């Protein structure tokens, strides 16, 4: 993932930002049902585990030695990703959020996310591959205040309604998971 | 305030002092009396198949390296250099010939023996390296690929320690012709709770399901569990809960929980594979255990097995109010990758650090720790009396058996826990 982003026109970059800022606002405003409408029906939502790997002696002196990819147990590995979900799982999370007895969200968390570093990596007729970073502040009364940081590796498609999220891989920057849950909608 | 352990848990363990979960003095006793004298789960043989393979583990707060030596034997050594005490292994898993301390490069073989001291070359008196290896875990044994270690050199054999739990564990392990496999590195996360509450939850507490998890577990599902559910205690601290399905139940409803979302979402190949396993279940584990549809298991002191979502878990204490919870996705060895993927998703979507169900459990456990830390409640012990005396032997199932609402699994755990702490307190 070392390639430069593709050239975008100011208008195309603006359209991507518009999509991401809208999405962030929906999630922070807890309008999860509207967020679901931004997903394509075959959406894949993956959160790889990050493993503390052994240094590979043969790679020393080269950038591969410190590659982020080596740390990830994602959808392609036969390890154990933290999450790999589809529309059904995400809809279940959204459905739960509006139940009276979703106790881990009672009272609900207050979140604020800043989305940045939006880079269009690849574009063809149907698909846009976009990288972006987030800082997500999370505060829940009686529980914890914490910061989630990560990168989202997205694939978007487009229809009359605008962009749709087809695939999201969330690379979380944790050392040890000391947060109440990594079950949020990142 | 002075207290003795016998004041914390009453005779029949129906009233349990909140200090059991929150008092640092209790925790110090637990380290010696429970974690110093039990078999503790370290890992599964499928994680270290080749010579030089290693994974990290913990025994309470003691970091341990679990490795397969050049001789093929399994070794467990404390991850701390004999010279200055630094950890000699930092990776979660891998394959190596040597563990090297970063400070002065003392190096150890995977069996824990000391290989080299770089500084000795310029010294006249060479230290005796054979006496300077990593601290060995004195007892390491495995059963069905499950590796346990104990700090107690005189502890009973692992198979005897597990006792009749083997009957219930085999209902799962022996269902698959090639046994099971632990996938990848364990999920690990920290919860502000006492280690015993996650243990109790998995030991037999299916009763919180339709309440704490009401957003996901319907009253209808729970009624079915209550109707067919069995809670078993094979020995104090060991327990299993499961449904015993009627003999004419279609295979789709007995396939160890996977007839639900996991199987449906996994597609046709997964369903076909499950049908095949269930078709041979009676042959492999007998007709009774073929009808068992597991819920949760607990093995004293801190190993849990969530059969319905195929995960093993260990609740590692980090002081009285903090847990490092480890959890492994477990799949049938030799199953096609599509089946393994469907099963790991059936675990991680609902349990683990991002699980939609587990987030409610973590919440309850950390809130309980707050409740257990209220000073003014010393004379207001928690009530553990539900179903007292209702358990009884069963014609076919080993152990004492009851309905799932009977909290005898927890009373038995705490009676054993009390007696073991008392032995340490009295210097036995």
pLDDT at position B263 is 62
Buried b (16+ CB within 10 A) or exposed e, A96-130: beeeeebbbbeeebebebebeebbbbebeeeebbb
Tell me which residue in A51, A83, A100 faces B185 most closely, judged by beta carbons. Answer: A51
* Extended strands (E) in B69-104: 74-78, 93-95, 98-100
Say if the Cβ atoms of B185 and A49 lie within 8 Å.
yes
Which of the following CATH numbers is that of domain B40-141: 2.40.50.100, 1.10.10.1800, 2.102.10.10, 3.40.462.10? Answer: 2.102.10.10
- Is B258 a residue whose pLDDT tops 60? no
- Chain segment B199-218, per-residue pLDDT in tens: 999 999 998 988 999 888 88
User: Cβ of A61 under 8 Å from any chain B Cβ?
Assistant: no
- Tell me if domain B40-141 and domain B164-425 are identical in fold: no
- Cβ-Cβ pairs closer than 8 A, A with B, add up to 116
Report ipTM for this prediction.
0.94
Residue B318 and residue B331 in contact, taking contact as beta carbons nearer than 8 Å: no
Q: Which of A103, A100, A119, A97 is nearest to A35 (CA)?
A: A97
* Residue pair B271/B263 in contact by the 8 Å Cβ criterion: yes
- Residue range B233-249: mean pLDDT, rounded: 95
A181 and chain B in contact, CB less than 8 A: yes
Mean pLDDT of chain B: 94
DSSP state at residue B120: G
Q: Which residue has the tokens 């959406």?
A: A43
Beta carbons of A75 and A81 less than 8 angstroms apart: yes
- On whether any CB of chain B is under 8 Å from the CB of A59, the answer is no
pLDDT on residue B212: 92
Instruction: Order across the sheet with B114-116: list the strands.
Output: B98-100, B107-109, B114-116
Cβ contact A32:A186 at 8 Å:
no
pLDDT of residue A12: 92
The model's pLDDT over B318-358, given as tens digits with 9 standing for 90+, comes to 999 999 999 999 999 999 999 999 999 999 999 999 999 99
- In which region does residue B27 sit, left (phi positive, over 0), alpha (psi from -120 to 50) or beta (all else)? alpha
Q: What is the CATH number of the domain that holds A106?
A: 3.10.450.50
A93 touches chain B (CB under 8 A): yes
Q: Nearest chain A Cα to B325, which residue?
A: A177
Tell if the CB–CB gap between B184 and A49 is shorter than 8 Å. Answer: yes
List of chain B residues whose C-beta atoms are within 8 Å of the C-beta of residue A142? 367
Query: A183 in a domain, yes or no?
Result: no
User: Inter-chain contact A81–B344, Cβ cutoff 8 Å?
Assistant: yes
Does any domain span residue A4? no
For B17-26, what is each residue's pLDDT tens digit?
999 999 999 9
What pLDDT is stored for residue B262 in this prediction?
61
Chain B residues lying within 8 Å of A79, measured CB to CB: 183-185
Domain that holds residue A104: 10-42+87-172
Q: Where in chain B are the domains? A: 40-141, 164-425
Is residue A123, in this structure, part of any structural domain at all? yes
CA atoms within 13 A on the CB side of A43: 24
Nearest CB partner across the interface for B362, out of A85, A93, A181: A181
Distance of CA B147 to the CA centre of its chain: 11
Quick one: tokens of A82? 């933290």
Predicted pLDDT of residue B252? 75
Percent of chain B with pLDDT over 90: 83
Q: Do B183 and A85 touch (CB under 8 A)?
A: no
- Position A155 in a domain: yes
Say if residue B315's pLDDT is above 60.
Answer: yes
A56 assigned to some structural domain: no
Distance from CA of B302 to the nearest CA of A (A): 20
Which parts of chain A have pLDDT scores under 50?
A: none
Query: What mean pLDDT do residues B85-107 have?
Result: 97
Residue B257 vs residue B420, higher pLDDT? B420
The pair of three-digit structure tokens given for residue B398, joined into one six-digit string: 């080993």
User: Number of folded domains in chain A?
Assistant: 1
Average pLDDT for B159-188: 96
pLDDT of residue B259 exceeding 60, the answer is no
Selecting from B214, B265, B353 the residue whose C-beta is nearest the C-beta of A101 gives B214
B277 vs B257, higher pLDDT: B277
Helix (H), strand (E) at residue B304: strand B303-306
Mean pLDDT along residues B151-175: 97
B262 and chain A in contact, CB less than 8 A: no
Sheet holding B53-59, edge to edge: B74-78, B62-68, B53-59, B93-95
Q: How many CA atoms lie within 13 A of B240 on its CB side?
A: 27
CATH top-level class of B164-425: alpha beta
d(CA A41, CA A88): 9
Please report whether residue A147 resides in a domain.
yes
- φ and ψ at residue A6, rounded to 5 degrees: -75, 155
Q: Is the confidence at residue B219, as pLDDT, over 90? A: no
Is A27 inside a domain boundary? Answer: yes
């Amino acid at each position: 993932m070392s390639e430069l982003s593709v050239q975008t026109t100011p208008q195309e970059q603006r359209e991507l930002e518009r999509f991401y800022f809208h999405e962030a606002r929906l999630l922070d405003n807890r309008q999860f049902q509207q967020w679901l409408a931004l997903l394509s029906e075959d959406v894949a939502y993956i959160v790889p585990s990050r493993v503390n790997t052994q240094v590979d002696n043969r790679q020393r002196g080269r950038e591969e030695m410190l590659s982020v990819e080596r740390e990830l147990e994602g959808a392609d590995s036969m390890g154990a990703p933290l999450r790999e979900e589809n529309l059904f799982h995400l809809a279940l999370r959204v459905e739960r959020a509006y139940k009276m007895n979703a106790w881990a969200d009672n009272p609900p968390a207050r979140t604020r996310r800043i989305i940045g570093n939006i880079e269009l990596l690849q574009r063809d007729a149907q698909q846009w591959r976009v990288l972006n970073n987030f800082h997500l502040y999370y505060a829940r009364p009686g529980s914890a205040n914490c910061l989630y940081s990560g990168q989202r590796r997205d694939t978007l498609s487009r229809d009359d309604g605008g962009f749709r999220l087809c695939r999201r891989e969330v690379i979380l920057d944790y050392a040890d998971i000391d947060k109440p849950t990594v079950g949020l909608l990142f | 305030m002075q207290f003795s352990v016998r004041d914390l848990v009453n005779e029949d363990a129906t009233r349990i002092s909140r200090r059991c979960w929150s008092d640092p003095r209790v925790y110090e006793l637990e380290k010696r009396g429970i974690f110093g004298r039990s078999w503790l789960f370290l890992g599964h043989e499928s994680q270290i198949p080749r010579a030089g393979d290693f994974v990290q583990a913990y025994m309470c707060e003691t970091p341990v390296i679990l490795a397969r030596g050049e001789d093929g034997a399994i070794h467990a050594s404390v991850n701390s250099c004999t010279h200055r005490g630094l950890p000699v292994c930092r990776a979660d898993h891998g394959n190596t010939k040597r563990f090297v301390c970063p400070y002065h490069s003392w190096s150890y073989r995977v069996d824990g023996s000391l290989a080299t001291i770089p500084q000795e070359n310029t010294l006249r008196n060479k230290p005796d390296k054979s006496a300077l290896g990593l601290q060995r875990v004195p007892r390491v044994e495995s059963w069905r690929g499950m590796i346990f270690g104990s700090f107690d050199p005189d502890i009973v054999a692992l198979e005897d320690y597990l006792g009749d739990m083997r009957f219930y564990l085999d209902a799962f392990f022996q269902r698959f012709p090639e046994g099971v496999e632990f996938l990848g590195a364990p999920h690990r996360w920290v919860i502000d709770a006492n280690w015993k509450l996650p243990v109790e939850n998995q030991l037999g507490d299916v009763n919180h399901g339709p309440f704490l998890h009401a957003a996901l577990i319907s009253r209808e599902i729970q009624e079915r569990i209550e109707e067919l559910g069995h809670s078993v205690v094979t020995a104090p601290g060991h327990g299993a809960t499961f449904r015993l399905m009627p003999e004419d139940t279609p295979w789709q409803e007995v396939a160890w929980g996977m007839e639900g979302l996991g199987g449906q979402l996994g597609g046709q190949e997964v369903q076909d594979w499950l049908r095949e396993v269930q078709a041979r279940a009676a042959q492999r584990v007998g007709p009774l255990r073929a009808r068992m549809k597991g819920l949760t298991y607990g093995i004293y002191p801190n190993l849990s097995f969530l059969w319905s979502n195929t995960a093993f878990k260990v609740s590692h204490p980090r002081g009285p109010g903090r847990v490092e919870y480890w959890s492994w996705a477990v799949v049938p060895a030799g199953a096609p990758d599509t089946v393994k993927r469907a099963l790991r998703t059936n675990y991680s979507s609902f349990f683990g650090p991002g699980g939609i169900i587990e987030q409610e459990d973590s919440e309850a456990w950390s809130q309980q720790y707050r409740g257990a830390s209220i000073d003014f409640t010393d004379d207001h012990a928690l009530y553990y009396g539900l179903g007292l005396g209702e358990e009884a032997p069963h014609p076919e199932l080993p152990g004492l058996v009851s309905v799932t609402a009977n909290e005898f699994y927890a009373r038995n755990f705490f009676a054993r826990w009390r007696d073991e702490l008392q032995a340490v307190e009295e210097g036995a």
